[in-house]
């Protein structure tokens, strides 16, 4: 499991000052870095990003500060790496779901996309909530953009294969749909939403996405542009 997580690293190249000193190779090293990442999430939630230090993370992970510095020279590099791994997992989950849905009916594609993204963001709510805080400390815009571009490419290819729908402007439709998806899910973690509404939000989001795609597709028999 740990090795699989590391075999699909985000392709965005980090700035030199945020680069890890080295990448784990052996199973023991991979387990150590995984423990560091989990500890980082815990410290972010308990202390906040400004109070997070590599010393606190090392103590929570049960490793020495020296071991920590073998990989991450300072907390900014650590936070950048944790964010990169998280966003890579999000993009990979959506890509996998989209590939498996090529040629499916449009409504099925929509539901698959919403479920894949919703599950990836909500199954580990603490990690998602914590990493929204990272942007207060580190510029992760390039990582976020890389993740978005991967998802855009995967969804566009999927929708283009729909046997029951064509679009006059697939790029615009895809962009609009993803903005609705991203924004709704983000609100779950950045606003005070009641548990009753939060528990139903995923179903409502699926309904919105299906309705939008149905409205945006070219009417049957209409000539293309």
The count of domains in the chain is: 1
Least confident of 49-63, 83-97, 124-138: 124-138
Residue 204 lies in a domain: yes
Residue 178 lies in a domain: yes
Please state the pTM of the whole predicted model: 0.85
pLDDT higher than threshold 60 for residue 143: yes
| Confidence at residue 154, expressed as pLDDT on a 0 to 100 scale | 97
pLDDT higher than threshold 90 for residue 25: no
Residue 123 lies in a domain: yes
At 221, is the pLDDT very low, low, confident or very high (cuts 50, 70, 90)?
Answer: low
Residue 66 lies in a domain: no
Residue 201 lies in a domain: yes
| Confidence at residue 159, expressed as pLDDT on a 0 to 100 scale | 98
Q: Structural domain of residue 162, as residue ranges?
A: 102-216
Q: What is the pLDDT of residues 191-205, one digit of tens each?
A: 888 888 888 999 999
Q: What is the pLDDT of residues 81-116, one digit of tens each?
A: 999 989 999 999 999 999 999 999 999 999 999 999
Residue with tokens 């500060």: 65
Residue 1 lies in a domain: no
∠ CA 161-163-168, nearest 5°, is: 70
| Confidence at residue 16, expressed as pLDDT on a 0 to 100 scale | 65
pLDDT higher than threshold 80 for residue 157: yes
Residue 89 lies in a domain: no
Residue 7 lies in a domain: no
Which residues neighbour 54 within 8 Å (Cβ) at sequence distance 6 or greater? 65, 68, 69, 72, 74, 75, 78
pLDDT higher than threshold 70 for residue 142: yes
Pick from 55, 158, 28: nearest CA to 105:
158
CB 10 within 8 A of CB 148: no
């Amino acid at each position: 499991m740990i090795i699989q997580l590391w075999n699909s690293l985000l392709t965005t190249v980090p700035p030199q000052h945020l680069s890890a000193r080295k990448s784990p190779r052996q199973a023991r090293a991979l387990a150590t870095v995984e423990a560091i990442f989990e500890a980082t999430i815990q410290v972010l939630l308990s202390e906040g990003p400004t109070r997070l230090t590599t010393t606190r993370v090392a103590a929570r992970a049960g490793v020495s500060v020296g071991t920590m510095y073998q990989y991450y020279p300072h907390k900014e590099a650590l936070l950048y790496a944790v964010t990169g791994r998280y966003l890579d997992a999000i993009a990979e989950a959506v890509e996998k779901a989209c590939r498996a849905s090529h040629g499916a009916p449009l409504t099925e594609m929509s539901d698959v996309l919403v479920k894949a993204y919703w599950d990836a963001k909500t199954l580990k709510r603490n990690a998602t909530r914590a990493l929204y805080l990272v942007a207060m400390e580190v510029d992760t815009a390039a990582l976020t953009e890389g993740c978005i571009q991967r998802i855009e490419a995967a969804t566009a290819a999927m929708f283009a294969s729909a046997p029951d729908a064509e679009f006059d402007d697939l790029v615009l439709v895809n962009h609009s749909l993803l903005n609705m998806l991203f924004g709704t899910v983000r609100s779950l973690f950045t606003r005070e939403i009641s548990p009753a509404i939060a528990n139903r939000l995923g179903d409502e989001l699926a309904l919105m996405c299906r309705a939008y795609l149905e409205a945006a597709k070219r009417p049957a028999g209409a000539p293309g542009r």
